[in-house]
């Protein structure tokens, strides 16, 4: 009997939407391990990589064949971030925390306000759950992308969203709002009856945080990643922090187990190494400053940003520099968005790892100067 006469039922209209597409999950080419990976804002600090490797090696074998017991992780994490365990939700990366917020609170037709450009999954989840999106556009300027707190507050009042998504720092822009501006924005969202999600995936590269404010503002959710500062992008652990009344709703939409036993075991052990994490952040931040100083010295426009990444505009030398760097490093060469047009983005790394990249760029500049 031929199976061709059978057809699956129709998916939800939001999923059938032709505008909702995802990258190819089979045909992607793996990155060359011989190159420096500065394209996805991972932690490439060799000391941190070695620490994560040793922690993974220390995980007992039973973590591979048992279901996770996550209570100890919640109890260990809570005092480190300054909220009760009942305020936390472990997730598969901060991406999982963002999805949990959408799944718990957004129904078809609800309004969502988020920055543009920003982390791609805000737009994906908005489509998945049928939201009406208002985009907060960063404007180009001589100093880089610009979005003022007054614009955010005004957009909240005008669009009356159910959810405001605001990464701080934002990506790919690297922009941040001050604590005073964040308080204004959070209070504007509360007055408008909206939930507000502050995405702190790059903490503590940008050390200011609003996470403890979740006990003050019941409509505030903060999410974090371990893929940046903690060097665990492959472990896929993140978390959300929220007032207990919101946290219990987020837990209602979680999977049977929030993260796997292997990931939980690595994360729990890594929490003993907070000092090492902060030392790695310091090394990478120093490397970022070193690279930026070299680019400034060569006369290129730079955007310093507040995440573990930076931007450089190579101008008329861009094509030659991209060709010179192609054999040794991955990075984002350019952006379609007007606020970042002409800029290349590099994930930050240590000064030692940046030095060959700097030298290759210097060689191009010297070579053109002699031609």
Q: pLDDT digits over 151-202, tens only?
A: 999 999 999 999 999 999 999 999 999 999 999 999 999 999 999 999 999 9
- pLDDT value at residue 148: 97
Average pLDDT on 291-300 reads 98
The average confidence (pLDDT) of the chain is 96
Q: Which helix (H) or strand (E) holds 182?
A: helix 179-191
The rounded radius of gyration (Å) of the Cα atoms in the chain is: 22
Nearest by Cα to 34 from 232, 290, 291, 326 = 326
- pLDDT value at residue 1: 52
pLDDT exceeding 70 applies to what percent of the chain? 98
Average pLDDT on 230-255 reads 98
Average pLDDT on 46-71 reads 97
For the chain, how many residues are written?
371
Question: Which domains, and CATH codes, for the chain?
Answer: 30-44+275-370 (3.90.1150.10), 60-272 (3.40.640.10)
What values do phi and psi take at 329, rounded to 5?
Answer: -150, 145
Tokens of 198: 């502050």
- pLDDT value at residue 3: 65
Q: Does residue 22 surpass a pLDDT of 90? A: no
- Report the predicted TM-score, pTM, of the whole model to 2 decimal places: 0.94
Average pLDDT on 199-214 reads 98
Q: What is the DSSP letter of 299?
A: T
Beta bridge partners of 167: 199
- pLDDT value at residue 56: 98
- pLDDT value at residue 160: 97
Q: Does residue 123 surpass a pLDDT of 70? A: yes
**pLDDT confidence tier of residue 368, bands split at 50, 70 and 90:** confident
Given a contact cutoff of 8 angstroms between Cβ atoms, the answer to whether 290 and 158 are in contact is: no
């Amino acid at each position: 009997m031929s199976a061709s006469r059978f057809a699956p039922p129709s998916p939800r209209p939001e999923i059938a939407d032709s505008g909702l597409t995802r990258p190819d999950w089979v045909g992607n080419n793996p990155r060359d391990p011989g190159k420096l990976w500065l394209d996805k804002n991972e932690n490439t600090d060799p000391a941190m990589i070695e620490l994560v490797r040793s922690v993974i090696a220390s995980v007992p074998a039973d973590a591979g064949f048992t279901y996770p017991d996550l209570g100890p992780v919640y109890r260990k994490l809570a005092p480190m971030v300054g909220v009760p365990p009942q305020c936390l939700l472990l997730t598969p990366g901060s991406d999982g925390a963002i999805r949990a917020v959408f799944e718990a609170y957004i129904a078809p037709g609800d309004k969502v306000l988020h920055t543009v450009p920003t982390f791609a999954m805000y737009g994906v989840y908005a489509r998945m759950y049928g939201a009406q999106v208002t985009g907060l556009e960063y404007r180009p300027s001589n100093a880089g992308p610009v979005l003022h707190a007054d614009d955010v507050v005004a957009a909240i009042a005008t669009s009356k969203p159910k959810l405001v998504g605001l990464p701080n720092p934002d990506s790919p822009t690297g922009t941040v709002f001050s604590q005073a501006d964040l308080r204004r924005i959070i209070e504007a969202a509360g007055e408008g009856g909206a939930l507000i999600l502050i995405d702190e995936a790059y903490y503590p590269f940008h050390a200011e945080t609003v996470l403890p404010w979740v006990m003050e503002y019941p409509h505030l959710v903060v999410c974090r990643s371990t893929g940046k500062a903690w060097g665990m992008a492959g472990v896929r652990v993140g978390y959300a922090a929220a007032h207990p009344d919101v946290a219990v709703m987020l837990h209602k939409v979680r999977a049977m187990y929030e993260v796997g036993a292997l990931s939980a075991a690595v994360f729990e052990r890594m929490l003993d190494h907070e000092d090492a994490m902060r030392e790695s952040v310091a090394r990478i931040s120093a490397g970022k400053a070193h690279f930026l100083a070299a680019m400034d010295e060569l006369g290129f426009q730079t955007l310093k940003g507040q995440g573990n990444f930076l931007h450089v505009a190579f101008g008329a030398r861009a094509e030659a520099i991209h060709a010179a760097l192609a054999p040794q490093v991955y990075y984002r060469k350019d952006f379609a968005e007007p606020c970042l047009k002409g800029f290349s983005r590099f994930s930050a790394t240590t000064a030692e790892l940046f030095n060959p990249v700097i030298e290759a760029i210097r060689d191009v500049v010297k070579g053109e100067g002699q031609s």
